[in-house]
Amino acid sequence: MTISRFQITVPPGTLAVTLNGEVITGIDLHARPLQRLPAASRDAEKRVAAELAAYFVDAAAPLAWPLQFAGSDYQLRVWRALRAIPAGKVKTYGQLAAEIGGCAQAVGNACRQNPIPIYIPCHRVVARGGIGGFAGKTAGQPIRLKRWLLQHEGVVLTA
């Protein structure tokens, strides 16, 4: 398989996508254009870029591209549960923990280790009293991005 990495610019910023052949293995939400990664050029890259672009125009657009990721048994359970949360809906860390076992902090840790955000929508998990964290941060650009993603999907948080 050929590993490729390319960038796509979407409304909230620049994403770097990593493919192994024709499966997504990673998305970096905090990519900088200065990385000088090529824009999508191969057929698979162009199709992934088109799928992501469609989502960033319409949050109801399906994100169905094949994924490949590895993690602990618990992380895999969390990531499967995240994929079951539909666009426009949220769950708290505690609700997700109650569904799959463990505690809210363990769910947060698994979200922090998520290799393919957007497709594994960890942004749809929030704190009981507000937005919670994103990418291991509780302020700054990651939280602005999480808020943007949730608003894009029609979720309005009051806290």
**Which pLDDT belongs to residue 52?**
96
- Tell me the per-residue pLDDT of 17-43, one tens digit each, with 9 for 90 and over: 999 989 999 999 877 765 556 666 688
- This prediction has a pTM of 0.92
Interval 44-81: pLDDT, tens: 998 999 999 999 999 999 999 999 999 999 999 999 99
What is the per-residue pLDDT for 37?
Answer: 61
Residues of the chain with CATH 1.10.10.10: 73-153
Fold of 73-153: Arc Repressor Mutant, subunit A (1.10.10)
CA distance 12 to 9: 8
Highest mean pLDDT among 3-7, 38-42, 98-102, 134-138: 98-102
Average pLDDT, whole number, for the chain? 91
Q: What is the DSSP string of 90-105?
A: -EEHHHHHHHHSS-HH
Catalytic member of 40, 107, 122, 126: 122
122 carries an active-site annotation:
yes
Q: Is 61 helix (H, G, I), strand (E, B) or coil?
A: coil
